[in-house]
Amino acid sequence: MTYSARAVANAMERTFRTRGSRALLIVKKAFQLSSADLGRLFGGVTRQAIEKWLERGVPANRIADVDRVAEIATELTKRFKPQRLPTIVRTPMAVLDNRSIYDVLRAEGAPPIYEFFRRWEALVPGSDPIRAGKHAKRKDALIEAR
């Protein structure tokens, strides 16, 4: 069976057209956010744009941000009951200067939340480290990176 170059190109386009949509859905479901709240999380993106992202894929310049927030949502989902996660994400915390995880993600992105995870691991003996990104190679890499 042979395929034309055009058929292969069309198949690849269909495959990658919705890139980032799954990560966006993970965040939306885990944090129970409306499309408008999800748009605010990613820097004032309109509700309509979020709906397009879900349907057609996330723009290339935003995929890394969406993936980082989805990674945080996934880690939090592993540690807390899913039904409690929306409240946890919206509750101000002293360690975050009386801001919620949602507010910090909105204002500063993922790095302060990764730092929060590092501090959390130092306070909870015997827990598995929450890796700050896929590049952490050893379990103790986060503590030594300070």
d(CA 44, CA 118): 28
pTM recorded for the entire structure: 0.73
Helix/strand/coil for 132? coil
Q: What are the residue ranges spanned by the domains of the chain? A: 8-144
Name which of 142, 146, 109 is nearest 127 in CA terms: 142
Residue 66, Cβ neighbours under 10 Å: how many? 23
pLDDT tens digit at each of 146 positions of the chain = 777 888 877 776 666 667 899 999 999 999 999 999 999 999 989 999 999 999 989 998 999 999 999 999 999 998 889 999 999 999 999 989 999 999 999 999 999 999 988 888 777 665 555 555 554 444 444 443 43
